[in-house]
Structure 1
């Protein structure tokens, strides 16, 4: 019995506009920042987003369809990881720059709330 397979774009199908659109949303950016920091596969439930389950599912789908993340089923869990190698090959430095900016903004927001 084979599990469900999710469709992902091939590397040559990944487009900058789609990646930038996916990264432009704060919730999706939080997913990418989290995945970048842990540098491993994680279940959707490990990333605490303050939106409904259906909205969370939508955000993951946008990231997957843009080629930003890879999603696979492991049992009943949907596991997520960054497609770092693909993105770095296509758009050198983009992911690192975006994640660094997101980390800076999160740190500034934390300091402002103290």
Structure 2
């Protein structure tokens, strides 16, 4: 894992350190799936404040940390904003079709349950 030498640089696993079971764990929570779904359709990176999750700020921070530490998102500071981007290239290279399958399943479930 890359180390953070300064408080403004966040540690991320390298592509070789990303493991399937960790990615699946990160994707197993509805709030984290919501974040990934939004990032997958975004034109670019999104700030943490973009997401209006129905949980406390500390819980939101936890969800972003789980996504980052398991290789699903990359977080970087731009000024005072923490920007989030989906690590689609890494995930598609390591687990071809996984992200598209999960996102498709999330969409179908939302339609089925009337949550879309």
TM-score, structure 2 length as denominator?
A: 0.90
Matched, 1:67 2:54: no
Structure with larger RCO (C-alpha < 8 A, sep 6+): 1
Of the candidates 89, 101, 104, which is equivalent to residue 100 of structure 1?
Answer: 104
Structure 1 residue 3 displacement after superposition: 7.0
Q: Secondary structure at the match of 2:114?
A: helix
Partner of 1:4: 8
- The residue correspondences of 1:28-107 to structure 2 (distance < 5 A) are 28-107=32-111
Structure 1 residue 71 displacement after superposition: 0.2
- Unaligned 5+ residue runs, structure 1? none
- Aligned-pair RMSD on alpha carbons? 1.7
- Unaligned 5+ residue runs, structure 2? 1-5
Structure whose residues are more often helix by fraction: 1
Query: Which contiguous aligned blocks of 4+ residues in structure 1 show a shift greater than 6 angstroms?
Result: none
TM-score, structure 1 length as denominator?
A: 0.91
Kindly tell me the number of residue pairs found equivalent between the two proteins: 111
